[in-house]
A and B are shown apart, each in its own frame.
Chain A
């Protein structure tokens, strides 16, 4: 083994890697548990990548072939149902873990100097994950996917100035058609993976460079834990349990497939997007048609966009945290937003 390492080191230069493995540590304090969320998100992303590549072997994009190929994957291809179901469940859990990871990083003020860019890449990765979910939802080309995408892209169309152009860009025309499917497929398997890998690489590089952030005012407990192998072994425990959970969900609640999309059919009742879009979906449903001089739909969509922008820019807004001082206003605001979003999500789920 040592000879193989030496051979590779001689040709590739593995010493920096070895050095990193030997030197990298993780702080120990009462919130250390949240450090595992990043690793868990990374693991789920890799599961998505692996299962997505397997699905690509049989998926045939196109309005006349997509649905049939997904049906074939689910019913004829050996273990196709398992791969598709894991891909589906893993996507849901991935976005959930990312959301919690991002929120805990927010509360632990992990965005403060010098980690502003790490924060920005993390927020961008979350946006990419949502785009993955939105674009992937249409690919089975069943009725729910079709009508949910029609509604979802309609929301993009309400943005002032750029709405119409954005709608055209997303749909490739006036309506959701085979052209939309082709665009979403390209987005899902080419554009977003490249964007995600680039952002992820930068995010991980910055995490290695700056190390894990310790929340201000929190005292460390003893010597930091070595990343390799101590922290990684704990990570592996979580990943193995996550894999067991994914297998259980895939076997007990396999990914379904509704009737094939029919643009001339009426929308099925109770149509809803994926759970992570419940909050904006419910907000748009609840907002009145007109709020003062503004259209309710426009106000809702723009409001959510502004909320997202403020969230991304929080390292530059929270000056107290940047100076290492407590900033309870931001923490309370964060809690309020999260409770609001979770409340809307629960409400949409129950109705």
Chain B
């Protein structure tokens, strides 16, 4: 109670700082410890004070009177109450249009649909509300790196609650962070500081955070991996997965612990992901063997072309054009790996043929340069032999001249 009153006083004081007719704010008398935290608060900067959120009367000299419900005091609501307190302004389109028209106004509506919101409605007071992710008295813009909701801190903020200690007694998994750290996304995001790699909210949403349902997984993953999602949805596998109620992407690639893909994942081999549904010798086994063979063929063609280019470049030959051309084959390899999600042998074969053709042409071009180099070396050997022979003849002539001069001298 006292803290809220202080904040009210603090914000009131701050908002009117310097003004001669500054309103009396008795909140700070008790809640002065919140001053530092509120220093960078966006609401304070916009002129809001303690009473705008918590109600009450900061001008009343008596504490009981200042914090009495009769004066509009609401205190510190928790759960849904807290969300609704923020939503009083943030869901008010008219008001937000004046204060900050760039902000959306559907946060509360989204929150009600989220797993957090649903639990809050049921009276769960431990569930995340607005202040859990944005802070309470030091709310900063999301773009501010110091904000808990900033892209650089969002994983830390989510796992601040989604851990074993906080979730004690609840039945939800708490190993998301460990799995995410192992994943290709987590490695990019946490180790390489690549903010384009997805964090928790990129898949689960922000204010409407919830685990994607089976039917939504493709759309969630497909928001980044659009080609793969489209190919999968157009494949025969899509309906089979629906029938089995198996989530499309995560069945093969896992969720949270999404490891870097490799060609070995294709099929029912040791590292193959198809063995969950398929058996050796079945149609999938045969098809994936052919696909793997095609991938290996194309990869090795590219490697051979690259090695030939490297050899030609090492001896000083110009390989810029074929090096540029090889990008076409490398692109085909990338496309073929995406095309696997469509499970169409015909389409894959067409890409393998296209990419393999380019790689073969590049290798021939590189070989032609190496042949040219050999031709130059042979030409050099012939020219050098002739020049040395000529030099020898000249030296012989010089020697004879020398001898004849010596005889003349005698």
Contact = CB atoms under 8 A, between A and B. Distances in A.
A89 to B, nearest CB: 12
A75 interface: yes
A257 B401 CA distance: 46
Contacts of A256: 316
Contact of B388 (A222, A244, A255): A244
Interface string B383-410: 1100110110011011001100100010
A64 interface: no
Contacts of B317: 254
Interface string A54-97: 00000000000000000100110000011000000000000000
Nearest to A82: B376
B395 A237 contact: yes
Tell me if B's interface is mostly helix, strand, loop or mixed. Answer: helix
A86 B320 CA distance: 22
A81 B369 CA distance: 13
B377 interface: yes
Interface string A225-247: 11001100110110011011001
A251 B377 contact: yes
Interface in B362-387: 376-377, 379-380, 383-384, 387
A223 interface: yes
A240 B387 contact: yes
Given A222-B409, A237-B394, A237-B395, A247 B318 contact: no
B318 A257 contact: yes
A218 interface: no
A251 B376 contact: yes
Nearest to B378: A251
Given A222-B409, A234-B398, A241-B391, A247 B380 contact: yes
A252 interface: yes
Interface in B290-318: 316-318
A247 B397 contact: no
A71 B323 CA distance: 15
Nearest to A231: B398
A49 interface: no
Interface residues of B, number: 22
A237 B398 contact: yes
Most chain B C-beta atoms within 10 Å of own C-beta, residue among A230, A244, A248? A244
Interface residues of A, number: 29
A253 interface: yes
B401 A229 contact: yes
Nearest to B398: A233
A222 B409 CA distance: 9
Contacts of B376: 81-82, 251
B392 to A, nearest CB: 9
Interface string A265-284: 00000000000000000000
Contacts of B405: 223, 225-226, 230
A237 B401 contact: no
Nearest to B375: A251
Contacts of A222: 409
A24 B391 CA distance: 24
Contact of A247 (B387, B394, B398): B387
A229 B404 CA distance: 12
B399 to A, nearest CB: 9
A230 B402 contact: yes
A20 B262 CA distance: 82
A235 to B, nearest CB: 9
B206 to A, nearest CB: 38
B315 to A, nearest CB: 8
Contacts of B387: 240-241, 243-244, 247
Contacts of A234: 398
A252 B315 CA distance: 8
B50 to A, nearest CB: 53
A254 B369 CA distance: 13
Nearest to A257: B318
B316 A244 contact: no
Contacts of B390: 240
B391 A71 contact: no
Given A230-B398, A233-B398, A240 B391 contact: yes
Contacts of A243: 387
Contacts of B320: 71
Contact of A233 (B316, B377, B397): B397
Contacts of A251: 376-377, 379-380
Contact of B384 (A223, A244, A253, A255): A244
A148 B383 CA distance: 35
Most chain B C-beta atoms within 10 Å of own C-beta, residue among A233, A243, A252? A233
A300 B329 CA distance: 53
Contacts of A236: 394
Interface string B90-109: 00000000000000000000
Contact of B394 (A82, A226, A240): A240
A241 B401 CA distance: 20
B108 to A, nearest CB: 48
A71 B383 CA distance: 25
Nearest to B395: A237
Nearest to A254: B316
Nearest to A223: B409
B135 to A, nearest CB: 40
The 10 closest A-B pairs by CB, nearest first: A251-B380, A244-B387, A240-B391, A75-B318, A254-B316, A233-B398, A237-B394, A251-B376, A244-B384, A236-B394
Interface of B: 316-318, 320, 376-377, 379-380, 383-384, 387-388, 390-391, 394-395, 397-398, 401-402, 405, 409
13 contacts: A222-B409, A229-B401, A230-B402, A233-B394, A233-B401, A241-B391, A243-B387, A244-B387, A251-B376, A251-B377, A251-B379, A252-B380, A256-B316
